[in-house]
A and B are shown apart, each in its own frame.
Chain A
Amino acid sequence: MEVVVDNLETLNIMRNYFYLFSLCFRYPTNEVYEILDTNIDNLKNVCCNHLTLPPIDELQSLYISLFVNNNGFLPVIPYLSCYLDNNYVLYGKSHFEIKKIFNELGICLKEEVKEPEDHIYLILEALGFCLENYINSSKKRYIDLFHKLYRDILLKVFPNFLKAVEYYGKNSFYYFVTKGLKEFLYNIPTKDSGGFYEVK
């Protein structure tokens, strides 16, 4: 499997979107909320024009009710290894696979980050990090690792994650953002369309 990398402009845009989506799935502190607010039009571009950012208090409690206080039998678990391992416990086998990729990237979580590595916002941020480092260093391994996280982790679990958000967060901010993320992820341009990479 070979990854072919396209131009810098595309990479920059993708990096920024990965970072922006990462912030969308992160607990909306004041700082996070501010960035989302500034970039709401950018989000509308990839999500939908109906997307609105609720007031911060509302968004915080919505975030908790969807991703922290998981309701019912099909909760929106933001930890991707739960979907990959088909298990209801954290720090399973896939979590270590993800940690291994982070190790290969030469990164680890800052002490103040209290989430496990497989939280969707950290995966999205790591994808942005891969691209950023590729942009800065042109080292192919960053694109290889991007590919592992993107194809082997995120795309594998995304349908289930999306299903849960659709069920529990219907017509909420997170619903539109997750739909937007879906479009973004599934349509990352390939080389054929003059874009980013292709798989051989």
Chain B
Amino acid sequence: MKLSRRKFLKVGGIGATSACLLGSLGSFKIAHSKSPTYMGKKKEYIASNCGMCVNKCGIIAEVIDGRLHKINPNPKHIKSRGMLCAKGNAGATIPYSPERLKRPLLRVGQRGEGKWKEISWDEAFKIFAENLAKIKEKYKNRSAVAFASTEGLQEEFFYYIVNAYGSLNTVRHPTLCLSTNIQGWSSVFGVYPDADLMNAEYIIMLGSDRAASFITPDSVDFIKNRPKGQKLIYLDPRFTPTAAKADKWYPIKPRTDSAFILALMHVIIKEDLYDKEFVEKYTVGFEELKEYVKDKTPEWAEEKTEIPAKDIYEIAREFAKHAPRSVVYPGRRSSFYVNEVYFRRACACLVAICGCWDVEGGVVPKSSIKLNTHVPTFPFFELAEQRVDKSAAASIKKVVPDSVMCPLVGTGLPEDSCSFLSEKDGSWIAFREAILNDEPYPVRGFVCFKQNPMQSVPNQKKTLDMLKKMEFICVIDIQMSDTAWFADLVLPHTTYLESWDPAHNIGGIWPIVVFRQPVIKPLFDAKPMFEIAKGVIHEMLKIPSLWDDTDKEGLEEFKRSVVQEVLDKPIEEYIKKQLSIYPGAFERIKKEGCFYLTDKGQYGKTRKPGFRFKTATGKIELYSERYAKMGLDPLPIYCEGNMPKEGQYRFIVGRVAWHTHSSTQNIPYLWEIQKENYVWINTDEAKKLGIKEGDYVIIKSNAGEQKVRAHVTDKIRQDCVYYENGYNRLSPQMSLVYKKGASEAVVLEDYLDTISGSVAMHETMVTIEKVK
């Protein structure tokens, strides 16, 4: 159709004289001064801290005319050693993703149907608060709303909402990650320590893929110091980038890591290679440990681990020779087995008997820089029941089936409770199971801040079933995660580049303090959690029924200490107060990205006379008094585990350097590196099954199945298969990985380590079949 002028006028029934259609809806105003428009006119370099993973590396944002052009590493940031990884670099594109969440969305169709309407923040706050009130009234229990969150500098303000509401049901990421590690090491030393990879001479790593996985300062130290003669022994069923850099790599038989460590201790004790003075002075339980490892010979361990006994002897002797500059790496690896805590305890005991503790080159307790922390006062509520994962015995039993625990005798694991649940962290698996069984009471509300349980918690079907039980789901995130896709209310959070984040003490051998400042103005209509908490709490205060089970004085104190003192003031004031102990620290962080009192490593504070370790005895506990009292085994015991049967493979997990769990797969620059995941299968096994590189296969467990392409390789044991996390997304708004590859969460079964409450990631057996 061509519109001639005549026709144009004819169809233009809108009329030449009709009043301006827009009325007050006009989007423009007269500009009083010209804003910068030419690329390259005004350059700024702004220091802040990365938010692409948990490490908070130093960054210098290069901003041109208000647009973030590039992110550079910060050479003055002692923690990140002037390094910025692929994710940190790609972070520069996050604010500018057309797919990011832009405005509050309210579901108008069925859950998961993708039908939304935009609403204002005022409406969103009101809906949020009203739903909290509704659930509290209906169930007469504030804990009927569950709150999930993950580590981040704004998380403390999420907890302002949680505590203002009064639910005790909170769940965080550690039980999907390293809580067995924290529990195991803490049970021996009273704290969870760091490893001094900058100065260590001899390192044993079991499954912590330091050269890939999360790139942390440890990774940088490790890469830098390897050429200086540092020796690395690496154990992993996969040949990873760390294996490639190791002096020796052992594809250890999964679930036998403990046997290897116990055998090292056997040799070191039997050959008198341990640090007698240290053991005498600082530890308790050596004799019991010695007795326990007496028969844990390298020959015994060889049968279990498939690592030659002669190599175990050699490693033990070398480890002791280099002590105290020897390290069993305590850092990141998720929790693999249902008895993982005992393995972690064994690692800690090995470090302890060789005296590799709190010295340069050893394993070192974290130091910190004290902040002037604001202590908010929250009301005490009568209608708040105990957390569900603490008392749901029947539900917990369901996630520790005999087939995995077998033989139950001698495992030292509780069957109907989690021994050491963190008050805030809870146990994701026990928590979800209890909600699914309405045990001990119904939970019908779910508020989730930057966590994505649909992809991060094993057994996705159960997570979806849990969400289906909810009467209200609110997700706060920067992208439409798979969990957000099933929410009723979705609130857009600012990226880490657009807002102030409070000061945070990053403990470690080189402790520092950081905060974030906005490097660009917030785009669209996203808000930081500080503003969201303020909005929600103000709306909550308008609803009298939300405060009828607390005393008036407590409520007034809450209004003063939280609302007036913190939320109603600019966040910069909060940060300045945090740093008020150190004059000039605020300005220094603003300029240089971090603050520290010294750039020297902090060693030796626990070796000073009179120091008391945070254990029951005040000493390093090779034999745990607390465990004994709890009915757990006080020694780092080994027990046989579940092994794959004929035709089965153990499904193992791992991470790659360019992704953080399931949060970064939709970033184009990172997606370019790996567009979909492949299941690794050993070459000989693939041959048996008639599978060739690139073939589609079905991988199937008791939890679910996924279709994925095969990567045929010698870099994995014959009894294991593996693929990366974060693919085959359910949210169409994660468009680059929507229905691409395979999801870990679908296939992983939900087994539980009942000491720490952690998921056991390597207990799932699968079958594999080529797609015909």
Q: Which residues of A contact B (CB under 8 A)?
A: 8-10, 12-14, 16-17, 19-20, 22-23, 27, 29, 31-32, 35, 39, 41-42, 45-46, 57, 60-61, 64-65, 68-73, 75, 77, 79, 82, 88-93, 95-96, 99-100, 102-103, 106-110, 113-116, 121-122, 125-126, 128-129, 132, 183-184, 187-189, 193-196
Contacts and interface: CB of A to CB of B under 8 A. Distances in A.
12 contacts: A13-B15, A16-B12, A16-B20, A19-B20, A39-B14, A61-B114, A71-B735, A77-B98, A91-B67, A108-B29, A115-B524, A195-B8
A13 B524 contact: no
A107 B34 CA distance: 9
B403 interface: no
Interface in B504-560: 523-525
In the A-B complex, the 3 residue pairs with the closest CB atoms = A187-B3, A12-B16, A61-B115
Contacts of B668: 88-89
B1 interface: yes
Interface string B1-40: 1111110110111111110111101111111001101110
B420 interface: no
Contacts of A27: 118
Contact of B735 (A46, A57, A70, A93): A70
Among A23, A90, A100, residue most surrounded by chain B Cβ atoms (within 10 Å) = A90
Interface string B388-424: 0000000000000000000000000000000000000
Given A61-B108, A89-B668, A194-B6, 4 more contacts: A10-B9, A13-B15, A71-B735, A102-B31
Contacts of B725: none
Given A42-B14, A71-B732, A106 B117 contact: no
A96 B65 contact: yes
A111 to B, nearest CB: 9
Given A61-B109, A71-B733, A96-B65, A16 B27 contact: no
Given A13-B14, A31-B25, A183-B3, A72 B738 contact: yes
Interface stretch (B99-107, B135-143, B218-226, B589-597): B99-107
B120 to A, nearest CB: 9
B96 A10 contact: no
A99 B738 CA distance: 33
B97 interface: yes
B116 A70 contact: no
Nearest to B733: A69
Contact of A39 (B4, B21, B105): B21
A96 B14 contact: no
Contact of A122 (B9, B21, B27, B116): B27
Contacts of A109: 27-29
A96 B118 contact: no
Contacts of B27: 109-110, 113, 121-122, 125
A17 B14 contact: yes
A117 to B, nearest CB: 9
Interface string B117-150: 1100000000000000000000000000000000
B93 interface: yes
A90 B8 contact: no
Given A60-B117, A89-B97, A16 B18 contact: yes
Contact of A99 (B25, B37, B96, B115): B37
Contacts of B525: 114
A102 B27 CA distance: 12
Nearest to A36: B21
Interface in B35-73: 35, 37-39, 65, 67
Contacts of A90: 95-98, 523
B732 A69 contact: yes
A189 B117 CA distance: 38
A72 B735 contact: yes
A35 B4 contact: no
Contact of A96 (B1, B20, B39, B108): B39
B98 A189 contact: no
Contacts of B22: 19, 22-23, 125, 128
A109 B29 CA distance: 6
B78 to A, nearest CB: 32
A16 B8 contact: no
B480 interface: yes
B5 A107 contact: no
Contact of B37 (A46, A72, A103): A103
A45 B13 contact: yes
Contacts of A193: 4-5
A10 B8 contact: yes
A49 B96 CA distance: 38
A91 B68 CA distance: 9
B28 A110 contact: yes
B37 A125 contact: no
Contacts of B15: 12-13, 16
A183 B108 contact: no
B37 A100 contact: yes
A121 B9 CA distance: 23
A93 B14 CA distance: 36
Contacts of A100: 37-38
A75 B8 contact: no
A189 B4 contact: yes
Nearest to B24: A31
A169 to B, nearest CB: 14
B352 to A, nearest CB: 51
Contacts of A72: 732, 735, 738
B96 A91 contact: yes
B5 A189 contact: yes
A65 B5 CA distance: 36
A41 B13 contact: yes
Given A115-B524, A129-B28, A20 B3 contact: no
B733 A13 contact: no
Nearest to B28: A107
Contact of B105 (A22, A64, A96): A64
Interface in B252-287: none
B89 to A, nearest CB: 13
B329 to A, nearest CB: 38
Contacts of A187: 1-3, 8
A114 B65 contact: no
Interface in B359-375: none
A149 B9 CA distance: 23
B410 to A, nearest CB: 53
Contact of A13 (B16, B102, B114): B16
B35 A103 contact: yes
A50 B23 CA distance: 28
Contact of B5 (A92, A96, A194): A194
Contacts of B95: 90-91
A45 B735 contact: no
A82 B98 contact: yes
A107 B102 CA distance: 23
A20 B21 contact: yes
A25 to B, nearest CB: 12
A122 B22 CA distance: 12
Interface string B187-210: 000000000000000000000000
Contact of B118 (A60, A108, A132): A60
A79 B244 CA distance: 45
Contact of B103 (A19, A114, A116, A183): A114
A16 B22 CA distance: 9
A131 to B, nearest CB: 11
Contact of A9 (B9, B29, B39, B738): B9
Contact of B26 (A10, A82, A125, A196): A125
Nearest to B120: A29
Contacts of A116: 523
A126 B103 CA distance: 23
Given A61-B116, A64-B116, A103 B34 contact: yes
Given A64-B118, A69-B480, A106-B31, A132 B20 contact: yes
Interface string B727-753: 000001101101000000000000000
Contacts of B117: 57, 60-61, 64
